A and B are shown apart, each in its own frame.
Chain A
Amino acid sequence: MSVLDIPRLLAANITVGVHPEGKVFGFSMDLDTLWATGAAMLVVMGLGLFLRARATSDVPGKLQIIWEALVDAVTNQVEGSIGPRGAAIVPLAISLFLLILVANSFEVFGLGSKYEFLPAPTGDINLPLGLALFVILLVHIASVRARGIRGYIAHYFFHPFPKLLFPINLFINVVEELVRPVTLALRLFGNLLSGGLMLALIAALAAWKLSGIPIGDVAVIILDPVWKIFDVLLIGPIQAFIFALLTIVYFDIAMQEEH
């Protein structure tokens, strides 16, 4: 096999977004995603229980310091943009951040195979889209509560252009509201899917031999950890952060008095 064979080799072996499906209560579900989501939940909740048990008002441990820094950062973000009305958004943003962060970090167990034994559940459209739809639903509820039902509806017609141009306003706003959950979900999903795809591509290099020398194996040994470090330490936290931050931003926009 020569260098020229690589494209054919990769195209032949790589599958994207394939999950082992099974019937649960008559619905077809992605079994690996369910199981990985459960694992992520256990990690987050176990971390929470551990923190709770070790919590002290004296000198805090490192984990407690990190936790308090996280809570502080989220609280400052929320209070700075929304104010005290947004207090309930703090636990939402923290939960989103932690669950997505843990889910993203499962990428470290990735083998680059068709089915992973512990895939990142955020790499399945169901988790990012579920979270995004849930968040946007809450945003709309918050918007109605902040502006009243009249203000909420009026917002679609009279913003951002003058009243006369209400058809254009309506079109822009509806598109914006429809796009929001999709972009929120796809940003996360795309990053994690491509993370898995990268692992699959790197794994596929293993078959690459030059004149009998297994260059591919060396490439895999070097590239796999390099990519995982980048993916799990940088992309994963950044995507979790962006998801939580955008949640706060959407609430902020929805709860503003003007518009």
Chain B
Amino acid sequence: MLLASSNFLVPNATIIVEVIAFLIVLGFVWKVVLPPLNRMAEERRQKIADALEAADRARAEADETRSERARILDEARQQARQIVAQANRTAEEAKAEALGATEIEQARLVSAAEAEIAMAKRRALDELSAQVASLVISVARQVVGREIDAEAHRSLIDEALSALRQGAETGVAGERAQKV
């Protein structure tokens, strides 16, 4: 028997087949198995990167929305404050205006009443003076015993009347002065 076939450390022709077998496995792994699996791994890496980026973007958007909301809320609060202040001011003004109008009306009413009073007084005086004139004439007629010609003594009567009126008016003026 040859040494080659008896010693387990010496290879035989099997070695050629073994190398070919390995070449087949190598080619298979290299060209058939690795490319699609590497592609999938790369795709997954890309997907994860995209997802992370999208999450970052969403977070930034959320932050922006939150600050925007705070800003709007702040504005609204400020506006509300302004509106309330404005309303308060308007109310004050309205109140003041109403008060002013009342005072004016009051004054108007008072003055109107005073004017009416004065007019009534004058009318009363006029009436009184007219009655006094006729009374004077009738009294005088009785005293004198004859008819007094109203026309003839007109000037006399008028004189008396004006003296009377003057006296009455000074009395009224004195009254008013006292009132004031």
Contacts and interface: CB of A to CB of B under 8 A. Distances in A.
B67 to A, nearest CB: 36
Interface of B: 5, 8-19, 21-26, 28-30, 32-34, 36-41, 43-44, 47
Contacts of A198: none
A57 B33 contact: no
A30 to B, nearest CB: 5
B21 A28 contact: no
B146 to A, nearest CB: 146
Interface string A41-72: 10011001101100111101000100110010
A98 interface: yes
A154 interface: no
B12 A28 contact: yes
Contacts of B12: 21, 27-30, 126
Nearest to A15: B8
Nearest to B35: A52
A58 B43 CA distance: 9
A251 to B, nearest CB: 15
Given A45-B28, A52-B37, A57-B40, A29 B8 contact: no
Contacts of A124: 8, 14
A67 to B, nearest CB: 6
* Chain B contact residues, majority secondary structure: helix
Interface string A172-207: 000000000000000000000100000000000000
A48 B14 contact: no
Given A52-B37, A68-B41, 5 more contacts: A44-B28, A48-B29, A60-B44, A134-B22, A134-B23
A131 B18 contact: yes
Contacts of A24: 13, 17
A51 B33 contact: yes
A16 B8 CA distance: 8
B25 A95 contact: yes
A96 B26 CA distance: 8
A59 B11 CA distance: 46
Contacts of A33: 14, 18
A214 interface: no
Given A94-B29, A95-B25, A125 B36 contact: no
A125 B8 contact: yes
B11 A130 contact: yes
A78 interface: no
Nearest to A56: B40
B13 A129 contact: no
A129 B11 contact: yes
Nearest to B29: A95
Interface string A3-43: 00000000000001110010010011110011001100100
